[in-house]
Amino acid sequence: MKYIPLNAASTEAEKETFCKMVASYGSEMDAHQNRCTPCGIFPKWANSMINIQGDFDLHLELCCDGDLYIGFIYGKIDYSWHKGYIKDGYGHIMEFYVLPEYRRRGYGRKMYLHLEELLRKDGAKRLYLTADPVTGATFWTRFGFAPTGEKSMENNLEIFEKSVTIDMMDFVIHHYDALIGEGNDPVFDPAPLREYMDKWDGQAFIDAMELDQNKSVLEIGVGTGRLAVRTAPLCGDFCGIDISPKTIERARYNLAEQRNVSLICGDFLSYEFDRSFDVVYSSLTFMHIEDKQRAIDKIADLMNCAGRLVLSIDKNPNDYIDNGTRRIKVYPDKPDATAGYLRAAGLTITDRYDTEFAKVFVARKE
């Protein structure tokens, strides 16, 4: 299956195909609900759906199998400031249509699972929809939706809901991939923004690594290379790991001239390294790690004898990062707890200091 996002920049052919599908969909819903919508309403409705697209958590897509247009899906995340009937934080399957000639071929299942995955990555813990009384209820109950006993104030149809399992790390990946898509790359920040980011680490953080050309270095959460462009030239061998594919892709571009760099797209906790390092460092990453003792134990295992760890943990105590369009669950770090994790891993804390926004630990493996 292929999914084509629809928005104001879509081709005229895509828009025309969608408008025809909406007319077919609307006519079918009219027949099922014993109503008659004027024909001129359907093109306006289709175009209004297209033109409202833009935010990351709105998903209007044509669904194709090769060159065949099978149907369309439309879902979004509800927020409290949205108009009309909403369930704050829920994934709302607003419209879902498979052309009659392609039903009972498995397309509906593939389209639903695709939309569920999109909404799950957007952070939805539950999904809801209103089901067409003729064909909808039977279809949706197959996927675990159940009637709530409520009816929508907008169309008077029964509301169905289901829970979805969220892998929070998938949401983190989606967030950082989205940042790249939005043009965010700290490597190219103007000087005032670079100075602001240094309030979590900065030159003192780099100096604490005591780098030289004989040392191997691992950065956990390398991002686009904000720190790596400064540390990689100072060491003999640099390795960076990050969970976001688009972020790693950008880091490869930013560090292309450094011949001593290797980059890994993966989850630090599950990735199996085949080597150890003289220096390990991380900044603005541990807030995404729930099992912090496990992470520090793994770092200790990866450190060579007399190796150094330089770790910056955010002082922010909040459980979420909210950038206005996305809320990302985080696991705040507590300095005293972090000190305990380091000691439990057999590391010796040699320095501990504050920046404006972070607490920095320097530890050594004896």
Closest CA to 280 of 231, 213, 350: 231
CATH 3.40.50.150 domain locations along the chain = 170-365
pLDDT for 321 equals 86
List phi, psi (to 5°) of 149.
90, -5
**What pLDDT is stored for residue 56 in this prediction?**
57
What is the predicted pLDDT for the residue at 192?
96
Determine the pLDDT at residue 79. 85
| Model pLDDT, residue 125 | 83
pTM of the model: 0.59
Of 227, 338, 344, the C-alpha closest to 282 is 227
HSE-CB for 184 with a 13 A CA cutoff: 12
Please tell me the CATH code under which domain 2-166 is placed: 3.40.630.30
User: For residue 93, which of 80, 110, 111 has the smallest C-alpha distance?
Assistant: 111
E strand segments, 44-190: 58-65, 68-77, 91-98, 126-130, 146-151, 158-163
Closest CA to 269 of 252, 286, 256: 286
What does the pLDDT read at residue 358? 98
Which residues are registered as beta bridge partners of 129? 160
- Residue 327 is predicted with a pLDDT of 80
Range 107-126 burial, b when 16+ CB lie within 10 A, else e: bbebbbebbbebbbbbbbee
Topology of domain 170-365, CATH? Rossmann fold (3.40.50)
- DSSP reduced 3-state for 19: helix
Bridge pairing between strands 303-314 and 358-365? antiparallel
Positive/negative CA dihedral, 46, 48, 51, 54: negative
Chain region(s) in the chain for CATH 3.40.630.30: 2-166
207-228 b/e (C-beta count within 10 Å ≥ 16 → b) = ebbebeeebbbbbbbbbbbbbb
Contacts with 243 (C-beta within 8 Å, 6 or more apart), sequence order: 169, 172, 173, 176, 265, 266, 267, 268
Residue 198 near residue 206 (C-beta atoms within 8 A)? no
pLDDT on residue 136: 81
Query: What's the confidence (pLDDT) of residue 361?
Result: 98
Matching residue, tokens 């030159």 = 203
**164: closest CA among 235, 88, 113?**
113
Return the amino acid letter for 130. T
Q: Are 108 and 98 in contact (CB under 8 A)?
A: yes
Q: Which two tokens stand for residue 138?
A: 């039977």
Per-residue pLDDT of the chain (366 residues; tens, 9 = 90+): 899 999 999 999 999 999 999 999 999 988 988 889 898 899 999 999 999 887 556 899 999 999 999 999 999 998 887 777 778 889 999 999 999 999 999 899 899 989 998 888 788 889 999 988 777 888 899 888 999 999 888 888 899 999 986 567 777 888 899 899 889 999 999 999 999 999 999 999 999 999 999 999 999 999 999 999 999 999 999 999 999 999 999 999 999 999 999 999 999 998 999 999 999 999 999 999 999 999 999 999 999 999 999 999 999 999 988 877 778 889 999 999 999 999 999 999 999 999 999 999 999 999
Instruction: Give the pLDDT confidence score for residue 170 in this predicted structure.
Output: 77
Whose CA is closest to 306, among 242, 256, 237, 366? Answer: 366
Nearest-angstrom CA–CA distance, 53 and 75: 11
User: What's residue 55's pLDDT?
Assistant: 58
Torsion of CA 180, 181, 183, 184, to 10 degrees: -30
CA distance 192 to 187: 13
Q: Residue 167 has what pLDDT?
A: 65
Structure tokens at 92: 């709302």
